[in-house]
Structure 1
Amino acid sequence: MEKDLLEQLNCWHDDDEFEKIVGKITEIPEQDRDYDLVSHLARALNNLDRYDEALQQLSTIKTEGEHDPLWHFRVGYAYYYLSQYEDAVTAFEMANKLDPEDEDAVMLLKWSRHEVGITSPQEKSMTVQPNAIASVKNDPPANELISFKERIKPFQFIEHDSGNVSLILNVGVYKDEVFQTRADEGFEGNGYDWGSLAVVFLEEKMPQLEDTVHFDPEADMFCAYSDNREALQKFAIGFKDACEDDAVIRDLFSRAELD
């Protein structure tokens, strides 16, 4: 693949412009696409939730990808989000074998094993929602850890020099319609109302984190904080997933108490 094209594809990937990647590569005749081009295409398709198409592309370079951990990772990623967990386990096990230092493959392997009921005692702490994964890996040397920060937007995950971490939300727009259902009771959707909602979520959905995750809301901002990074990440993922499930978040909010 030409250097300029590779740089353009990576630039589009960094900007989440996955449709442009697919469009550019599909303009190239199939017989002229090399391993790297097909890999980039499959990565973009995964990021567009077009998992079957990604698997189809990856199958065309299966022989070349046999010893490439990224090939196995992308296969596993597609299988995972197609709920084909046994196939995902197989793919992530190979990715882990080829690159034991890849923390993302280890994490998704644990999630996949959990889904098929073979979670080991050491992995029980990893049973959080896998939607933390927001974007599939860049090719080396730009192979950076997949950040869950995109997944939890509009919440922001802040790391402090002290080692503490915070979860912040500027309130007033996101899920405001939920708070309006109890406006006659005085709920406004401010930071304190979000804090009341978060308390119910923590008590009912993640009681094991009650002594670890704390809240310090203000009028225009919701804030959760902890000195345990992993604990707050788990809370952030779970809380965001609950917010995206309208039935769940409305049910939780029905038990929130006005501060």
Structure 2
Amino acid sequence: MTAMRLIETTPGKFSLLLDAGTTDVDDLVEQLGHEPNGYFWEGVAQFLVSTESPALAERFSYDPEGGMFCAYSEDQTALQKLAALMTPLTTDADRMRKLITSAKASGFEFDD
């Protein structure tokens, strides 16, 4: 089961959700000095989009909370692509460590 889920909130409107604090990498995120909350995961999404898939930028919006990451859009395909980028990071500690290290090296700051 994946931590990410894509739902249709109303006809033609979609949300990509992740319940913060439920991933396999939460302990690592904390060890690396971050709070694995919804705002941290927004930063993960922003960094991934900027570095790996800039074509996704502006195709969805973010609305995280402390306990939940949320991206929303009428563009279901864009959210599916974002989920494909983010899902491996919810379970792969090595990938998460590399992302946080790369983000720090580039000057990116997570808003957690």
TM range (shorter): 0.7 to 0.9
Matches of residues 57-206 of structure 1 in structure 2 within 5 Å? 153-174=2-23, 175-183=25-33, 187-206=34-53
Which AA in structure 1 matches 2:62?
F
1:216 counterpart = 2:45: no
Q: CA deviation at 1:240?
A: 0.6
Q: Cα gap change, 1:227/1:249 in structure 2, threshold over 3 Å: closer, same or farther?
A: same
Q: Cα gap change, 1:243/1:172 in structure 2, threshold over 3 Å: closer, same or farther?
A: closer
> Which whole-Å deviations, capped at 9, do the CAs of 1:191-237 have from their partners, x for residues lacking one?
11111111111111111101103221101111111211111111112
Which AA in structure 2 matches 1:245?
D
Note if contact 1:165-1:225 (Cα within 8 Å) is conserved in structure 2. Answer: yes
Alpha-carbon distance in 1 for matches of 2:21, 2:89: 18
Higher mean alpha-carbon deviation, 244-253 vs 199-208, is at: 244-253
Q: CA RMSD in A?
A: 1.8
Which AA in structure 1 matches 2:14?
V
Alpha-carbon distance in 2 for matches of 1:218, 1:242: 19
Alpha-carbon distance in 1 for matches of 2:28, 2:46: 16
| Matched residue, 1:253 | 100
TM-score normalised per structure 2: 0.81
Which of structures 1 and 2 has the bigger CA Rg?
A: 1
Q: CA deviation at 1:241?
A: 2.5
Q: Secondary structure at the match of 2:98?
A: helix
Gaps of 5+ in 1: 1-149
Q: Cα gap change, 1:176/1:166 in structure 2, threshold over 3 Å: closer, same or farther?
A: same
Matches of residues 211-250 of structure 1 in structure 2 within 5 Å? 211-250=58-97
TM-score normalised per structure 1: 0.38
Alignment: residue pair count: 105
Q: Cα gap change, 1:178/1:202 in structure 2, threshold over 3 Å: closer, same or farther?
A: farther
Matches of residues 10-89 of structure 1 in structure 2 within 5 Å? none
